[in-house]
Amino acid sequence: MKGDHLSKPAHTDTRHTPIRQRYQPWRDVFTIILALGLSVVSIWNYGANLERLKARFLSSYTPQLGSVTWEKCPTGVDPKARCGAIIVPKDYFNQADGGIASVAFSVYRASKGPKKGTVFLNPGGPGGSGLRLAGPAYAQFIGDDWDLVGFDPRGIGRTKPTVSCFPDFLTHQLYVTNTVIEQGINVPPLANISSPFFRESLVEQYRQYLALQKGQIELCAKTMGDELRYMGTANVVRDMDFMATAFDGEDAKINFHGGSYGSVLGTWLVNMLPDRVGYVVIDGIVDPISWSTDPVYKWASNWLASSEETYEIFLKDCSEAGPSLCPLAQHENEPTADIEERIEAFLDDLSVNPLPVPHARRPGVLTSGSVRGLILYYLMRPMVWPLAASNLHAAMQGNGTSLYDFLMPDYAAQTTGILPITDLQRSAVSCADARPPVPGSQEDFPSPEDLADHGIRTLKGVSRHFGVSVSVVEKDGECQYWPVRAPERFAGPWNAKLERPMLVVSAKSDPVTPLRSAVLVNSLMGNSTSLVIQEGPGHCSTGLPTLCVAKLKRAYFAGETPANGTFCKQELRTFPSAGAGMLDADLEASMTEDDRALLEALRQVPRLQGDIPQGMDQF
């Protein structure tokens, strides 16, 4: 991290000047003219807010704008929630010609009055659907006196237009099958990292990677065209502003809870619309300066800052658990270096001898790239570490079926493996947010050699085990090929003054959104944020949740902001025995019925976010 990332930028600092096109405050630009006879099935006293929408959002007659259509909820949404779609301006700066978009949402009503307002929910990604989040699990730690709204951001899920670059699921999967996009970079033995052969191996793989990325982006440009302009985070912030007005009125505050990429959305929200926000919680923090100013291929060197620390915790916990709970260990308290050495020997062998997996749902091979990427995925989710150890051990014994089935999509069932994202939805968001490439810039248009050299530097200086493996789990594209630019792209400043501090939450050892990014946001925004740190490994506080953090979030949404720097100790074991379980015995003995209900809700959250398949957690 650059040293000046921790300084508090002034509003006059040109590095953090907002990048926007044709932006004027909506109050001065848009007026609404809606047909008086428009029939709308609505919620939240919607009719009383139509006039306010008219005053703020339209400059021409658009009878559909602001209307809500109720729909059947998809599988997985809580049965007490309702699902719908609201019509919003596609382009908030060219409403007359920009057309409309339809934002899919779900709402879980407050069960206790008086209702405080609406909290918008985002699961991360970018590319994750938010519809399943609105339900009793989130109400447990947000409060049952809030309406909860999960929604699909631009280009994602049921929101229209949806990013559909390929004609169907299977065509896209066949395009990437057994390529470096699907399998990741095959890493030669790390002992040879300084050899010409090591570099040349990476160069050849990045040559294929760039060609594949360019090909699928060119296809996306042909099939999606100008629609791709409207998929960025700034547009999603405008959609939340629009929905908050529609649901709760023009004077209502925008309240938000988001993790991982949701921290990008939350940070953009509070800095773009500081006077409009109320209660905002972000969890698992992405560096906003890097996200908006660095080329996409450089993001990983920031994200992986704590990945080695998390891997050490995995090895230590495995050693202490012993072979009965973690078969990667040969005996209890085995030196972690010995476990690591066996895993590395397996990965080194895979780099030259991929493991055939003929009995998987979709037969194939395991490579060192795919297994390194999958280990990184497991590090994000400590609740599946026993499963991770079992699957990895089986592969090391020659049976890679369980490991491979967990990683790869099932063509017949049209499931996507470990990532709940199809097509190029993620790239559509990240490329809209990323800094536009400068023509002729070597940094912005890297060659295969440039990518290989950057990867080697990341392996040597940031993450020896996972420095070139993040693309397996975080599939961002090469944005230098992206065909369009968004009508609005926000790039700071990041030091807005808020009426109520934003709650910034981070696990101490998060392998992909490191604590230092949370410290950065906390430093940039000063008294407008309050930082909470959760001891232990995992991606976001929900990776290995604690009642401590959940209760702090609940108290925050009730009006009590925790002190900056509040620290919560780890409460769950990563390798529980049949007798001891995941919970510390003293903690379990002291738990109330409310604590147990809250813990059950925390168990559900990773499933609702798509992070952990049903039945794969341990508590």
The residue among 288, 287, 513, 567 whose CA lies nearest residue 379 is 513
The residue among 157, 234, 166, 218 whose CA lies nearest residue 429 is 234
What's at 261, amino acid-wise?
Y
In this prediction, residues 6-18 reach a mean pLDDT of 34
Question: CA 579, 540, 209, 128 torsion: positive or negative?
Answer: positive
- Tell me: the pLDDT tens digits for 179-232? 999 999 999 999 999 999 999 999 999 999 999 999 999 999 999 999 999 999
CA distance 430 to 124: 12
CA distance 411 to 417: 10
CA distance 14 to 9: 9
CB atoms within 10 A of CB 316: 14
Q: Residue 535's pLDDT is what?
A: 98
- Tell me: the pLDDT tens digits for 434-459? 999 999 999 999 999 999 999 999 99
Q: Which of the residue ranges 99-113, 307-321, 396-410, 550-564 would you say has the lowest mean pLDDT?
A: 396-410
Q: Report residue 436 CA to chain centroid gap.
A: 22
- The answer to whether residue 7 scores a pLDDT higher than 50 is no
Sequence-separated (6 or more) residues with CB below 8 Å from residue 225: none
> Which pTM value belongs to this model?
0.89
- The answer to whether residue 397 scores a pLDDT higher than 90 is yes
- Tell me: the pLDDT tens digits for 238-257? 999 999 999 999 999 999 99
- Tell me: the pLDDT tens digits for 359-374? 998 899 999 999 999 9
In this prediction, residues 28-46 reach a mean pLDDT of 39
CB atoms within 10 A of CB 402: 17
Q: Which CATH superfamily is domain 26-162+232-287+496-608 in?
A: Alpha/Beta hydrolase fold, catalytic domain (3.40.50.1820)
The answer to whether 104 and 131 have CB atoms below 8 angstroms apart is yes
List the domain boundaries for the chain. 26-162+232-287+496-608
Q: Residue 21's pLDDT is what?
A: 37
Confidence of residue 16 (pLDDT cuts 50, 70, 90): very low
- The answer to whether residue 415 scores a pLDDT higher than 60 is no
- Tell me: the pLDDT tens digits for 276-323? 999 999 999 999 999 999 999 999 999 999 999 999 999 999 999 999
**Helix 515-525 to helix 261-272 angle, to the nearest 10 degrees?**
0
Q: Residue 52's pLDDT is what?
A: 58
Question: CA 213, 218, 223, 228 torsion: positive or negative?
Answer: positive
CA distance 154 to 98: 15
Q: Residue 27's pLDDT is what?
A: 36
Q: Which two tokens stand for residue 73?
A: 């909820």
Q: Report residue 442 CA to chain centroid gap.
A: 29
pLDDT, greater one: 309 or 613 = 309
Confidence of residue 61 (pLDDT cuts 50, 70, 90): very low
CA end-to-end span of the chain, whole Å? Answer: 36
Q: Which two tokens stand for residue 12?
A: 């006059």
- The answer to whether residue 29 scores a pLDDT higher than 90 is no
Q: Residue 478's pLDDT is what?
A: 87
CA distance 585 to 580: 7
What's at 73, amino acid-wise?
C
Question: What single string gives the DSSP state of each residue in 45-87?
Answer: TGGGGHHHHHHHH-SSB-TTTT-EEEEPPPTTS-TT-EEEEEE
Torsion of CA 314, 319, 321, 327, to 10 degrees: 90
Q: Residue 474's pLDDT is what?
A: 81
